[in-house]
Amino acid sequence: MFVYSKDLSQYILNPFCIMLDDIDEIPEGGALLYQGSRYMLLPPAALVDFQKSMEDKLGTEAVSQALYSSALRQGRYFTGKVLDELSLEPDDAVRYMAALARGMGWGRIEITSLDISSLTLELEAFHSAFAEEYGKAKDPVCSFIRGFFAGVWQAVTGSEVEGLEMHCRAVEGPSPCIFVFAGSADRKKLRVSISQVKVEED
């Protein structure tokens, strides 16, 4: 259960320190709890090594899809809990989840555009743990972040959405990773530039 009761703006400014206050170890030791759920500290190298090992066996596209799908379910689940227990407005729920991701060290997630009526959300991830750990890649590698925020956006809007990583540090070099999320129905029509989503005319 979420027990968060601090001011949202303070949380967004400094999520890591506030999260640390809320992390407990169970009395007998061996399990860390944050807001009632079990967590463990894991270096990104462990996840990225697993990702690369799976890519060797299954191919990058299959692994990207698997990471995306599982992260989407996680994003949906946690956002649902946040909406339920913290009574946040939809845009604040996205900000909260971005702060949570930052606090967990995935990267500093900045919301560059958010419009519920058009189902579009754009994010930038500075210092993506996945991209920085992966090294040079041919295709975007932040599938977990992409899936997680697709789930966040799906929970907030109630609509099927798709997430694209338009720009990845692992592909393009030092710069933020850029993500765009939009309704699935518009997927084929999306023509995306770095800073805006344009829907093509039929």
Instruction: Out of 35, 51, 64, 79, point to the residue binding another protein (CB under 8 A).
Output: 79
- 146 touches 179 (CB < 8 A): yes
Which residues make Cβ contacts (< 8 Å) with residue 150, sequence separation at least 6? Answer: 68, 71, 72, 75, 161, 162, 163, 181
The interface with another protein within residues 132-161 (CB under 8 A) comprises 151, 154-160
* DSSP, residue by residue, 20-51: HHHEEE-TTSS-EEETTEEE----HHHHHHHH
The interface with another protein within residues 169-188 (CB under 8 A) comprises 184-185
The interface with another protein within residues 35-74 (CB under 8 A) comprises none
- 33 touches 24 (CB < 8 A): yes
- Closest to 98 (Cα-Cα) out of 80, 124, 132, 135: 124
Q: Compute the least distance from the CB of residue 159 to another protein, in Å.
A: 4
Q: Compute the least distance from the CB of residue 93 to another protein, in Å.
A: 7
Which lies closer to another protein via its Cβ, residue 184 or residue 195? Answer: 184
Q: Does 95 bind another protein (CB under 8 A)?
A: no
Q: Compute the least distance from the CB of residue 50 to another protein, in Å.
A: 26
Residues that bind another protein (CB under 8 A): 76-77, 79-80, 83-84, 90, 93, 151, 154-160, 184-185
